[in-house]
Structure 1
Amino acid sequence: MPLETVFSIVSSIALISWILLFIFYSQNWVYTFLFSGVLLILALTYLNFIIQGMSGTEEGGFNSLAEVRALFGSDQALLAGWIHYLAFDLFVGMWIAKDGWKNDINRWMLLPCLLLTFMLGPVGLLTYFIIRGIKTQTILQNPY
Protein backbone atom coordinates (compact mmCIF):
# COMPACT_ATOMS: atom_id res chain seq x y z
CA MET A 1 0.00 0.00 0.00
CA PRO A 2 1.42 3.44 -0.87
CA LEU A 3 2.65 5.49 2.08
CA GLU A 4 0.40 8.42 1.12
CA THR A 5 -2.60 6.09 1.36
CA VAL A 6 -1.55 4.88 4.81
CA PHE A 7 -1.02 8.51 5.86
CA SER A 8 -4.55 9.40 4.72
CA ILE A 9 -6.10 6.36 6.42
CA VAL A 10 -4.43 6.86 9.81
CA SER A 11 -5.14 10.60 9.74
CA SER A 12 -8.80 9.94 8.95
CA ILE A 13 -9.04 7.33 11.70
CA ALA A 14 -7.57 9.82 14.16
CA LEU A 15 -9.98 12.59 13.12
CA ILE A 16 -13.01 10.30 13.43
CA SER A 17 -11.73 9.11 16.82
CA TRP A 18 -11.47 12.69 18.09
CA ILE A 19 -15.03 13.41 16.94
CA LEU A 20 -16.30 10.26 18.68
CA LEU A 21 -14.38 11.21 21.82
CA PHE A 22 -15.98 14.65 21.94
CA ILE A 23 -19.51 13.45 21.22
CA PHE A 24 -19.47 10.38 23.47
CA TYR A 25 -16.97 11.42 26.16
CA SER A 26 -19.41 10.48 28.92
CA GLN A 27 -19.89 6.95 27.54
CA ASN A 28 -17.52 4.24 28.73
CA TRP A 29 -17.76 2.29 25.46
CA VAL A 30 -15.93 5.05 23.58
CA TYR A 31 -12.84 4.60 25.75
CA THR A 32 -12.91 0.84 25.27
CA PHE A 33 -13.31 1.26 21.51
CA LEU A 34 -10.56 3.86 21.21
CA PHE A 35 -8.12 2.17 23.56
CA SER A 36 -8.64 -1.44 22.48
CA GLY A 37 -9.39 -0.73 18.84
CA VAL A 38 -8.01 2.48 17.44
CA LEU A 39 -4.90 2.83 19.59
CA LEU A 40 -4.07 -0.83 19.05
CA ILE A 41 -4.34 -0.39 15.27
CA LEU A 42 -2.23 2.77 15.38
CA ALA A 43 0.38 1.07 17.58
CA LEU A 44 0.66 -1.94 15.27
CA THR A 45 0.85 0.29 12.20
CA TYR A 46 3.52 2.37 13.93
CA LEU A 47 5.51 -0.74 14.78
CA ASN A 48 5.41 -1.89 11.16
CA PHE A 49 6.68 1.41 9.77
CA ILE A 50 9.24 2.11 12.49
CA ILE A 51 10.80 -1.29 11.81
CA GLN A 52 10.81 -0.59 8.06
CA GLY A 53 12.08 2.94 8.50
CA MET A 54 14.87 2.23 10.91
CA SER A 55 16.07 -1.18 9.82
CA GLY A 56 19.46 -1.07 8.25
CA THR A 57 20.03 2.53 9.31
CA GLU A 58 23.26 3.04 11.17
CA GLU A 59 23.17 6.80 11.29
CA GLY A 60 21.06 8.78 13.64
CA GLY A 61 20.49 8.75 17.34
CA PHE A 62 19.13 10.82 20.20
CA ASN A 63 22.18 12.87 21.18
CA SER A 64 21.54 15.84 18.90
CA LEU A 65 18.88 17.32 16.68
CA ALA A 66 20.91 16.32 13.62
CA GLU A 67 20.97 12.70 14.78
CA VAL A 68 17.20 12.69 15.36
CA ARG A 69 16.72 14.19 11.89
CA ALA A 70 18.83 11.38 10.45
CA LEU A 71 16.62 8.81 12.22
CA PHE A 72 13.63 10.11 10.28
CA GLY A 73 15.44 10.24 6.96
CA SER A 74 13.22 7.64 5.31
CA ASP A 75 9.56 8.11 4.43
CA GLN A 76 8.65 5.00 6.45
CA ALA A 77 10.27 6.42 9.58
CA LEU A 78 8.63 9.80 8.98
CA LEU A 79 5.22 8.11 8.65
CA ALA A 80 5.93 6.18 11.86
CA GLY A 81 6.69 9.49 13.58
CA TRP A 82 3.36 10.91 12.38
CA ILE A 83 1.49 7.85 13.67
CA HIS A 84 3.34 8.25 16.98
CA TYR A 85 1.94 11.79 17.27
CA LEU A 86 -1.56 10.67 16.33
CA ALA A 87 -1.61 7.84 18.87
CA PHE A 88 -0.14 9.74 21.80
CA ASP A 89 -2.18 12.89 21.23
CA LEU A 90 -5.34 10.76 21.08
CA PHE A 91 -4.34 9.01 24.30
CA VAL A 92 -3.84 12.39 26.00
CA GLY A 93 -7.18 13.56 24.60
CA MET A 94 -8.85 10.48 26.05
CA TRP A 95 -7.36 11.26 29.46
CA ILE A 96 -8.50 14.90 29.21
CA ALA A 97 -12.05 13.86 28.27
CA LYS A 98 -12.30 11.22 30.99
CA ASP A 99 -10.78 13.47 33.64
CA GLY A 100 -12.99 16.35 32.55
CA TRP A 101 -16.06 14.14 32.86
CA LYS A 102 -14.92 13.01 36.31
CA ASN A 103 -14.38 16.64 37.38
CA ASP A 104 -17.72 17.75 35.91
CA ILE A 105 -16.13 20.10 33.39
CA ASN A 106 -18.58 21.15 30.72
CA ARG A 107 -18.13 19.48 27.33
CA TRP A 108 -17.87 22.87 25.62
CA MET A 109 -15.03 23.86 27.96
CA LEU A 110 -13.26 20.65 26.93
CA LEU A 111 -13.69 21.32 23.22
CA PRO A 112 -10.83 23.87 22.93
CA CYS A 113 -8.59 21.56 24.99
CA LEU A 114 -9.34 18.62 22.70
CA LEU A 115 -8.92 20.66 19.52
CA LEU A 116 -5.62 22.09 20.75
CA THR A 117 -4.42 18.65 21.82
CA PHE A 118 -5.32 17.27 18.39
CA MET A 119 -3.51 20.11 16.62
CA LEU A 120 -0.76 21.16 19.04
CA GLY A 121 -0.43 18.36 21.61
CA PRO A 122 1.05 19.87 24.77
CA VAL A 123 -0.71 23.22 24.25
CA GLY A 124 -4.06 21.44 24.60
CA LEU A 125 -2.89 19.65 27.72
CA LEU A 126 -1.69 22.93 29.20
CA THR A 127 -5.04 24.55 28.37
CA TYR A 128 -6.82 21.69 30.11
CA PHE A 129 -4.60 22.02 33.17
CA ILE A 130 -5.55 25.70 33.41
CA ILE A 131 -9.28 25.01 33.02
CA ARG A 132 -9.08 22.10 35.44
CA GLY A 133 -7.17 24.23 37.94
CA ILE A 134 -9.83 26.94 37.80
CA LYS A 135 -12.67 24.41 38.10
CA THR A 136 -11.11 22.47 41.00
CA GLN A 137 -9.47 25.57 42.52
CA THR A 138 -6.13 23.84 42.83
CA ILE A 139 -2.82 24.21 41.04
CA LEU A 140 -1.72 20.67 41.80
CA GLN A 141 -2.66 18.14 39.15
CA ASN A 142 -3.68 14.71 40.40
CA PRO A 143 -4.13 12.24 37.52
CA TYR A 144 -6.26 9.85 39.59
Structure 2
Amino acid sequence: MASIHREVLIDGTPENVWAAVRAFGEIHQRLAPGFVTDTRVEGDIRVVTFANGTVVRELIVDLDDEARRIAYAVVGGSLEPTHHHASMQILDDTENRSRFVWITDVTPSSLRGPIGEMVDQGIQVIKRTLDRDGLRPGQR
Protein backbone atom coordinates (compact mmCIF):
# COMPACT_ATOMS: atom_id res chain seq x y z
CA MET A 1 0.00 0.00 0.00
CA ALA A 2 1.15 3.51 -0.76
CA SER A 3 0.24 6.51 1.34
CA ILE A 4 0.38 9.98 -0.20
CA HIS A 5 0.24 12.86 2.28
CA ARG A 6 0.27 16.48 1.15
CA GLU A 7 -0.32 19.75 2.99
CA VAL A 8 -0.51 23.35 1.84
CA LEU A 9 -1.27 26.66 3.56
CA ILE A 10 -4.11 28.68 2.07
CA ASP A 11 -4.73 32.35 2.71
CA GLY A 12 -8.32 32.17 3.88
CA THR A 13 -10.30 31.35 6.97
CA PRO A 14 -10.98 27.65 7.59
CA GLU A 15 -14.72 28.31 7.25
CA ASN A 16 -14.36 29.83 3.79
CA VAL A 17 -11.91 27.21 2.56
CA TRP A 18 -14.15 24.43 3.93
CA ALA A 19 -17.14 25.90 2.09
CA ALA A 20 -15.29 25.36 -1.22
CA VAL A 21 -14.14 21.83 -0.31
CA ARG A 22 -17.56 20.89 1.05
CA ALA A 23 -19.22 21.73 -2.28
CA PHE A 24 -18.22 18.25 -3.42
CA GLY A 25 -20.30 18.39 -6.58
CA GLU A 26 -18.64 21.60 -7.75
CA ILE A 27 -14.94 20.64 -7.81
CA HIS A 28 -14.61 21.76 -11.42
CA GLN A 29 -15.94 25.21 -10.51
CA ARG A 30 -14.99 26.01 -6.92
CA LEU A 31 -11.96 23.91 -6.02
CA ALA A 32 -9.85 22.82 -9.00
CA PRO A 33 -11.11 24.41 -12.24
CA GLY A 34 -9.06 23.38 -15.24
CA PHE A 35 -7.54 20.41 -13.42
CA VAL A 36 -11.04 18.94 -13.02
CA THR A 37 -13.25 19.61 -16.02
CA ASP A 38 -16.55 18.13 -14.83
CA THR A 39 -18.20 16.79 -11.69
CA ARG A 40 -21.54 15.00 -11.42
CA VAL A 41 -23.22 13.68 -8.30
CA GLU A 42 -25.27 10.48 -8.55
CA GLY A 43 -26.58 9.74 -5.06
CA ASP A 44 -23.53 9.12 -2.87
CA ILE A 45 -21.23 8.76 -5.91
CA ARG A 46 -19.29 11.68 -7.36
CA VAL A 47 -18.15 11.26 -10.98
CA VAL A 48 -15.03 13.35 -11.57
CA THR A 49 -13.49 14.06 -14.98
CA PHE A 50 -9.91 15.31 -15.00
CA ALA A 51 -8.24 17.40 -17.71
CA ASN A 52 -5.97 14.46 -18.59
CA GLY A 53 -9.05 12.38 -19.51
CA THR A 54 -9.14 10.27 -16.36
CA VAL A 55 -12.67 9.68 -15.07
CA VAL A 56 -13.25 8.28 -11.59
CA ARG A 57 -16.30 7.29 -9.62
CA GLU A 58 -15.85 8.29 -6.00
CA LEU A 59 -17.99 7.04 -3.14
CA ILE A 60 -18.45 9.83 -0.59
CA VAL A 61 -17.66 8.02 2.66
CA ASP A 62 -17.98 10.91 5.11
CA LEU A 63 -18.71 14.62 5.08
CA ASP A 64 -18.00 16.05 8.54
CA ASP A 65 -18.72 19.76 8.94
CA GLU A 66 -17.46 19.86 12.52
CA ALA A 67 -14.05 18.38 11.61
CA ARG A 68 -14.11 20.11 8.18
CA ARG A 69 -13.23 16.77 6.56
CA ILE A 70 -14.44 14.88 3.50
CA ALA A 71 -13.49 11.24 2.89
CA TYR A 72 -14.01 9.35 -0.36
CA ALA A 73 -12.99 6.15 -2.13
CA VAL A 74 -12.48 5.46 -5.83
CA VAL A 75 -14.94 2.70 -6.72
CA GLY A 76 -14.79 2.76 -10.52
CA GLY A 77 -13.85 4.59 -13.66
CA SER A 78 -10.74 4.60 -15.81
CA LEU A 79 -8.46 4.47 -12.75
CA GLU A 80 -8.81 1.02 -11.20
CA PRO A 81 -6.95 0.68 -7.90
CA THR A 82 -7.44 -2.41 -5.78
CA HIS A 83 -8.01 -0.06 -2.83
CA HIS A 84 -8.30 3.72 -2.67
CA HIS A 85 -9.31 5.89 0.24
CA ALA A 86 -8.64 9.62 0.51
CA SER A 87 -9.55 12.51 2.75
CA MET A 88 -9.27 16.27 2.61
CA GLN A 89 -9.36 18.21 5.85
CA ILE A 90 -9.17 21.92 6.61
CA LEU A 91 -7.38 22.85 9.84
CA ASP A 92 -6.78 26.16 11.59
CA ASP A 93 -3.28 27.51 11.03
CA THR A 94 -3.44 31.15 12.02
CA GLU A 95 -6.37 33.52 12.34
CA ASN A 96 -6.65 34.12 8.60
CA ARG A 97 -4.92 31.06 7.16
CA SER A 98 -5.88 27.41 6.77
CA ARG A 99 -3.93 24.20 6.51
CA PHE A 100 -5.28 21.98 3.70
CA VAL A 101 -4.41 18.32 4.35
CA TRP A 102 -4.95 15.68 1.65
CA ILE A 103 -4.19 12.02 2.42
CA THR A 104 -4.59 9.19 -0.06
CA ASP A 105 -4.00 5.48 0.60
CA VAL A 106 -3.88 3.27 -2.48
CA THR A 107 -2.99 -0.22 -3.66
CA PRO A 108 -1.21 -1.43 -5.64
CA SER A 109 1.88 0.56 -4.69
CA SER A 110 2.64 1.04 -8.39
CA LEU A 111 -0.11 3.71 -8.41
CA ARG A 112 1.86 5.87 -5.95
CA GLY A 113 3.60 7.71 -8.83
CA PRO A 114 0.62 8.48 -11.08
CA ILE A 115 -1.76 9.30 -8.22
CA GLY A 116 0.95 11.27 -6.40
CA GLU A 117 1.47 13.38 -9.53
CA MET A 118 -2.27 14.05 -9.78
CA VAL A 119 -2.43 15.01 -6.09
CA ASP A 120 0.56 17.34 -6.52
CA GLN A 121 -1.03 19.03 -9.55
CA GLY A 122 -4.41 19.19 -7.85
CA ILE A 123 -3.19 20.74 -4.63
CA GLN A 124 -1.34 23.46 -6.58
CA VAL A 125 -4.52 24.32 -8.50
CA ILE A 126 -6.58 24.26 -5.29
CA LYS A 127 -4.22 26.69 -3.58
CA ARG A 128 -4.16 29.04 -6.58
CA THR A 129 -7.93 28.88 -6.91
CA LEU A 130 -8.75 29.51 -3.27
CA ASP A 131 -6.12 32.23 -2.87
CA ARG A 132 -7.13 33.83 -6.20
CA ASP A 133 -10.83 33.76 -5.43
CA GLY A 134 -10.25 36.05 -2.48
CA LEU A 135 -10.99 33.64 0.32
CA ARG A 136 -9.46 36.09 2.73
CA PRO A 137 -10.93 37.47 5.95
CA GLY A 138 -14.26 39.14 5.40
CA GLN A 139 -14.77 37.73 1.91
CA ARG A 140 -16.73 34.75 0.59
Instruction: Give TM-score, length-normalised by structure 1.
Output: 0.25
Q: Considering Cα pairs closer than 8 Å and 6+ residues apart, tell me whether 1 or 2 has the greater RCO.
A: 2
Instruction: Give TM-score, length-normalised by structure 2.
Output: 0.26
Structure with the largest fraction of helix: 1
